[in-house]
Structures are given as structure tokens and as C-alpha cells.
Amino acid sequence: MNKAVLLLLSITLLGLQSCKEKNKENPTITTPTKEKEINCDTYNKEKEVLDDAVYSFEKDASKFLKYTKERSNSFFLRFLHRYSNGNYDFSEMVTENSINSYKKIKNIESLYYTENGKLLFNFNSEYYTCMYSNFSPEIKTVFDQLEESGYLNTDFTAKSLNSQDQSVVDNEYIKSFIVMAIYYPTIVNNSVKVPVNLN
């Protein structure tokens, strides 16, 4: 069993233990709004653009994932689950709203970089530092383990979050991270399947 598999297994067990210690309630009910309760001094000027990007994801995901109530965080959980299992058809989910949001956030300094033709989220950005500082202690521990093991990347953070208690998506900073670090790079890197112009 290789190092990556062992790491994910240990994180999954950590998540299961966390589930046992918490009440198994549904995620907090929230109505998608354009204004998010996220504060990062470095990104004050871009806050509206970043908030709108998350809002666009919420609207698109709630429709595509057929979560008709549209008032629950459950579509974040479903998105993580499908992404982690690799059975996601972005061509059916992505709308012009999300594409227009991406065109705005892609110009935010240090948020992304490209490597071998792929768009990657920058885990050394001040944006990530702000998000991380507002994660729960449990999630910080998980992400610290990934960083120490050299696996702090989009795929492993998605799979690690997917293994956590469902209350993980009650955190607005986690939701913003999911959208910026996982959703938008994946849209771009799978642009062949997406019938819209990403340039």
C-alpha cells in the first residue's frame, strides 16, 4: 500500500471518528446569497467578485445536482462526493454564470498558476492563508497532514473533505475554498467537455 493511499485512509478514519463525536444532524440550512460572510483584508477589493463566484457555483450546483430545496448545503457535499469518485460530467453543470465568474477571478493576483497546461490553485496564496486560518481545528489538522506529506493539492483536499462529517460545509471559508480550489480549476482543465468559451 503506497504512501498516498495510507494517508487518505488515515484521514478518512479521522473523519469517521469526528462523525461519531458529533450529532448526526443535517447540515445547517442556508439560503444562497451573493454576500458571503468572508473577510480577508488582502482581498477586500475583490470580495464582491469572489462572493459572486461562490454564489454562481451554488446556483449551478443546486440545479445540476437536482437538490430542489435549494436551501441546503447538501449540494456542496454531493459535489465533493462526485468529484472524489470521478463521475462528474461538467458539460451538464456549467453555465454562463460560472464561466463569467471565472473570467473575473482568474485575474486575481496569485490565486492560480499554470503548470504543464493545467490551471492549478495556489496553496501559497494569501487567499489560501486566509481561508485556512478560518478552518476548524479538525480541518486544519487534515490539511497540515497533507502538506507535511507533500499531498496538499486539489485532488487530495477534495477527497479529504469528502471523508469528513457533513457539518464541514457549514463553514463559509470551506465553501469558498471548495469553489476556488476545486470547482473552477476543474472546469478549466476539463474545458473540452464544457461547451462555453473559457478565454
Over residues 72-119, the pLDDT tens digits come to 577 888 889 888 988 767 777 888 888 899 999 998 989 999 999 899
Contact partners, residue 54, CB within 8 Å, separation at least 6? 36, 175, 176, 179
Residue with cell 462555453: 196
Cell (9 digits) for 111: 490565486
The amino acid sitting at 72 is S
Q: Is the dihedral of CA 43, 46, 51, 54 positive or negative?
A: negative
Residue with cell 453555465: 95
Rounded to an integer, what distance in angstroms lies between the CA atom of residue 26 and that of residue 73? Answer: 9
- C-beta of residue 73 within 8 angstroms of C-beta of residue 27: yes
Residue 22 DSSP SS3: coil
- C-beta of residue 82 within 8 angstroms of C-beta of residue 66: no
Q: Give the chain's end-to-end CA distance (angstroms, integer).
A: 41
Per-residue pLDDT of the chain (199 residues; tens, 9 = 90+): 555 554 554 544 444 444 444 444 444 444 455 556 788 888 888 999 999 999 899 888 877 776 555 455 778 888 898 889 887 677 778 888 888 999 999 989 899 999 998 999 999 999 999 999 999 999 999 999 999 999 999 999 999 999 988 888 889 999 999 999 999 998 888 865 555 555 6
